Amino acid sequence: MSLLFKITYGLYVLSAADGSKSNGCLINTVMQQTAVPERVTVTIHKDNYTHDMVKDSGVCAVSVLDTSTKFDLVKIFGMQSGRDGVDKFSGYNCKTTKSGIKVLADYSLGFMELKVLSTIDMDTHSIFVCEIAESAVFESANQPLSYAYYHSNIKPQPKAAVNDVKNDIWTCVICGFDHDGEPADDYICPLCKHGKADFVKK
| Pair (71, 125) in one structural domain | yes
Q: Is the pLDDT of residue 189 over 90?
A: no
Query: Which of 150, 169, 194 delimits the end of a domain?
Result: 150
The predicted model gives 58-76 an average pLDDT of: 95
For residues 141 and 194, membership in a common domain is answered with no
**pLDDT-based confidence at residue 165 (cuts at 50, 70, 90):** very low
With 80 as the cut, is the pLDDT of residue 33 above it? Answer: yes
Domain interval for residue 177: 156-202
Give the residue-averaged pLDDT of 106-126.
96
How many angstroms separate the CA atoms of 135 and 121, rounded? Answer: 26
pLDDT class of 61 with cuts at 50, 70, 90: very high
Q: Which residues contact 197 (CB under 8 A, 6 or more apart)?
A: none
User: Are 30 and 124 within one domain?
Assistant: yes
Predicted TM-score of the model (pTM): 0.79
Please state the three-class secondary structure of the chain as a single string: CHHHHHCCCECEEEEEEECCEEEEEEECCEEEEECCCCEEEEEEECCCHHHHHHHHHCEEEEEEEECCCCHHHHHHHHHCCHHHCCCCCCCCCEEECCCCCEEECCCEEEEEEEEEEEEEEECCEEEEEEEEEEEEECCCCCCECEHHHHHHHHCCCCCCCCCCCCCCEEEECCCCCEEECCCCCCCECCCCCCEHHHEEEC
Residue 190 predicted with pLDDT over 90: no
Instruction: Point out the domain boundary residue: 111, 130, 150.
Output: 150
Q: Domain count for the chain, please give it.
A: 2
pLDDT at residue number 67: 95
Q: Of the given ranges (6-10, 40-44, 179-183, 195-199), which has the lowest mean pLDDT?
A: 6-10
* Per-chain mean pLDDT for the chain: 88
CB 5 within 8 A of CB 28: no
pLDDT tier at 4, thresholds 50, 70, 90: low
User: Residue 183: is the preceding peptide bond cis (ω within 30°)?
Assistant: no
Average the pLDDT over 122-143 and give the result: 93
Q: Which pLDDT does position 104 carry in this prediction?
A: 96
The residue ranking higher by pLDDT, 154 or 163, is 154
Clarify whether residues 162 and 112 are in a common domain: no
Spatial distance between the Cα atoms of 51 and 125, rounded to a whole number of angstroms: 9
Minimum mean pLDDT range among 80-94, 120-134, 155-169: 155-169
pLDDT of residue 158: 64
Find the CATH number of the domain harbouring 94.
2.30.110.10
Whether residues 87 and 178 fall in one domain: no
Q: What is the rounded CA–CA span in Å between residue 51 and residue 32? A: 19
- Residue range 64-90: mean pLDDT, rounded: 90
